[in-house]
Amino acid sequence: MPFIPNTDQDRAEMLAAIGLSSIDELFAEIPAELRLAGELPIPAGVSENELVAELAELASWNTTGARGSFLGAGMYRHYIPTVVDDLQARQEFVTAYTPYQPEASQGTLTAFFEFQTMVAALLGMEVANASMYEGSSAAAEAIVLAMNVARGRKQVVLSAGLHPHTRRTIGTWLRWTPLEIVEAPLDARGRTELGGRVGSGTCAVVVQNPNFLGVIEDQDALAAAARTAGALSIASVYPIALGLLKSPGQAGFDVAVGDGQALGVPTQLGGPSFGLFATRMEHVRKMPGRIVGQTVDAAGRRGFALTFQTREQHIRREKATSNICTNNALMALRGAIYLAAAGPAGLREVAEHCLAKAQYAAERISRLEGFELPFGDSFFNEFVVRCPVPAAEVNRAIDRAGMIGGLDLAPYHPELGENALLLAFTELTTREQIDLLVRALASLSRSLPARAPGVEVKR
């Protein structure tokens, strides 16, 4: 769209139309001390080659983690097959924004029908939508679904093991609803402890598996507790882990959500990603977003149509179940291509590599003096390490070795103290990188003061 600035005459006519004679009158309500005096302090323009050189210099400051990265906590570096980039880059897909309108192409609708089919199978559910923004808003939308299903119930129980960003998103989403948020803490094993928090007033129980601390939850027990109280159970999942773990549907959950970034989307400085959302058929009319359905045309040929669109700017208006405005369709397309290319066997193989790398790292790290795994070995590809020094100091040592460290948990789980570090491993992590990490941690162990006789170091 071309930029057409207003001329002096344009501005004069607009001011006259509202009964003012100057721009200063228009902004008279703003105190003078808050208004900019003079020109904006913008440096003079430079040539293109000068600008490129300056940006390259700034980019060189970034830590790339060329020798390895152990940062996860919701965004993971997985291998992306070449076919994902190649197919997604086809012109007919690049221009596809999102399938709202009835004139959406059959190619786009076909891709999303296949996406829905694979997501429903992956999550063990009967129906999936054509994706969401990302995992956090998908979890919030799932609670809205539960609120609409279990009318009259005013409480939602959130596991403390949910990603902190997801918990904050849910808090924002539900701020103007009648729902009260109750948090279920984690026990000494790092698992969700519902206790007596789920009752007749609970509309939803929301858990994450593996949870934010990497611990594998007891899915069956959590889903059963919600079901006994008549509440809907919602599971937020890491899709790669489903190559090995039981699906939410198999565990008895009513709704399954998740972030699809691990399925063929680069980390990209934190986004964009796409969200997964699936549930049982009985809740299909309460689902957010849109659903592509399969049909036949007048000639009996297989065809696809937007079966449900619950967005408020469509015909449902005030009856809408969602105000979602886009679904990052291009990123979801990458997820569909990834799932189709990997297949069940490929997804399992990726998951096995992630688990094996994490198990090897955990075994090596737990043997270092002063380091321990507080939640044991019930994890998938990510685990908490309690260090002998603050996690920030550990990360500096890892950075000096040319790698990106883990997540310092102090701002997110202060009850773990300042020495807790969350480390992640994927199929891209090599044995050599893990050994280099262990050597960086061992250097910290060697710098510890000598232990007093008879004092045991917990491992």
pTM here is: 0.85
Same structural domain, 317 and 442: no
pLDDT of residue 38: 83
Considering the domain architecture, whether residues 334 and 366 belong to the same structural domain is answered as no
Judged by average pLDDT, the poorest of 65-69, 230-234, 450-454 is: 450-454
User: Is 276 a member of any domain?
Assistant: yes
Based on the domain organization, do 308 and 202 belong to the same domain? yes
In a domain, 19, yes or no: no
How far apart (Å, rounded) are the C-alpha atoms in residues 384 and 40? 48
Q: Is residue 130 part of a domain?
A: yes
Please answer whether residues 270 and 75 qualify as being in contact, where contact means their C-beta atoms are separated by less than 8 angstroms: yes
In a domain, 456, yes or no: no
CA distance 445 to 25: 67
* Last residue of one domain, picked from the residues 316, 340, 364: 340
d(CA 334, CA 115): 10
Considering only CA atoms, which of 130, 144, 141 is closest in space to residue 308?
130
* pLDDT at residue 314, rounded to an integer: 56
Same domain, 199 and 316: yes
Specify the pLDDT at position 341.
96
Is residue 354 situated within a structural domain?
yes
Last-in-domain residue among 318, 340, 362: 340
Segment 172-195 shows an average pLDDT of: 95
Range of weakest confidence among 7-16, 98-107, 331-340:
98-107
Q: 426 and 278, same structural domain?
A: no
Q: What is the CATH number of the domain that holds 288?
A: 3.40.640.10
In a domain, 428, yes or no: yes
Q: Could you tell me if residue 15 is inside a domain?
A: no
Are 370 and 270 in the same domain?
A: no
Give the end of a domain, one of 295, 325, 340: 340
Within this chain, do residues 156 and 228 fall inside the same structural domain, yes or no?
yes
Residues 303 and 352 grouped into a single domain: no
Residue 202 has pLDDT above 50, yes or no: yes
Asked whether residue 199 falls in the same domain as residue 227, the answer is: yes
Tell me: the pLDDT tens digits for 385-395? Answer: 999 999 999 99
pLDDT in tens, 266-282: 998 777 899 999 999 99
Mean pLDDT of the chain: 90
The pLDDT-based confidence of 97 (bands split at 50, 70, 90) is low
Q: What is the pLDDT of residue 453?
A: 44
Interatomic CA distance for residues 433 and 436, integer angstroms: 5
Residue 360 sits in which domain range?
343-446
Residue 188 and residue 316 in one domain: yes
144/280 same-domain check = yes
Residue 283 resides in a domain: yes
Residue 321's pLDDT band, with cuts at 50, 70 and 90, is low
Domain count across the chain: 2
The DSSP output letter for 258 is: E
Do 291 and 198 fall into the same domain?
yes
Per-residue pLDDT band for 241 (boundaries 50, 70, 90) equals very high
* H/E run at residue 386: strand 382-386
Tell me how far apart the alpha carbons of residues 138 and 278 are, in angstroms, rounded to a whole number: 10
Q: Give the span between the Cα atoms of 411 and 389, in whole angstroms.
A: 16
